[in-house]
Structures are given as structure tokens and as C-alpha cells.
Amino acid sequence: MSTVHIPSHRLSASTTLPSSTYTALTASLISSGGIERIQSVMTDSLAASGFTQNLRKRILSLLRCGECTNYTELMDVLFKEVGAEIMRAQKEKEKEKGMNGHTNGTTGKSEEERPLRIPESAVEDGVVAVRRELNTVCTIDITD
């Protein structure tokens, strides 16, 4: 098991690892079966939350109305919609923060108005699965 050293100043969602570290972790996760287990957790979590069904409905809608006529167009539209929802949710969280830094938990839109929102529970399940699998192939050392 290898040790991955990550300086604390590089801890953020946008931090990228050096390519050699990324390649080694990916190879370790593939050979250990970790990628398949992460995929399984995400598939189950997205299905249980209703996201998979909402995605199917949206795909059918895009194809039936003629907005998309092929796979490439469909993927472009879906990625834009999911990306826009992620950005909207981030902005909304920032707005909802009160003076004490806590959010009030309201979103202002029903789930039906946001069919491609990736549920927070699925994100959390994915993070837990990734951490669990990373811990089986390496030790993460966060240094100052």
C-alpha cells in the first residue's frame, strides 16, 4: 500500500493530483475492483433516489419533441442541464447562508422542476464509496 502526500493548501474540490499519482491510484483502483464497487454504489444510489427514472423521462422527452435526434446532441443537452443545475445549486447555497454561516435548507423549486438534479444523498454515498476504496489501496497523508 502506498502513501499519497497531499499538502493541506491543496485540499479543495478543484485540486488535481500530479499525473503520476493519479495514474497510480487509478491503476490500483482498477486492479483491486474498486472502480466497479464505486460504480455499483453510485448506480444503486441514483436509482434509489429517483434520478435514473427522471433521467429516462428527460431523455424520452428530448427525443420525442425532436430537440435531440442523435446520441451526441442528447449528451450535450443532458450535460448542460446537469451542469447548470450544479451551478444553480451552488449559487443557491451561497444565497441561503445566513449571518451565522448556516443554510436554511430551502430550495424554492420542487424536484419535478429540477429533474436532473443529482441528489445530495447520491453525492454523499459516492464520496463515502470513493474514500473507502481509496483507503484500501493507499494511505492519504495530509501535511501542512
pLDDT tens, position by position, 26-43: 999 999 999 999 999 999
| Residue 93 resides in a domain | yes
Number of neighbouring beta carbons within 10 Å of residue 52: 15
Amino acid letter for position 51: F
Q: How far apart are CA 116 and CA 68, in angstroms?
A: 17
Task: State the pLDDT at residue 56.
Answer: 94
Instruction: Tell me which residue range forms the domain holding 121.
Output: 20-143
3-state helix, strand, coil in the chain (%, to 5): 65, 10, 25
Using an 8 Å Cβ cutoff, are 126 and 51 in contact? Answer: no
Q: What are phi and psi of 5, to 5 degrees?
A: -95, 125
| Residue 46 resides in a domain | yes
| Residue 57 resides in a domain | yes
| Residue 127 resides in a domain | yes
Task: State the pLDDT at residue 96.
Answer: 74
* Confidence band, pLDDT 50/70/90 cuts, at residue 14: low
Average confidence (pLDDT) over 2-27: 72
Domains: count for the chain: 1
Residue-wise pLDDT tens digits, 51-94: 999 999 999 999 999 999 999 999 999 989 888 877 777 777 77
Q: Is the pTM of this model over 0.85?
A: no
Q: How far apart are CA 15 and CA 23, in angstroms?
A: 15
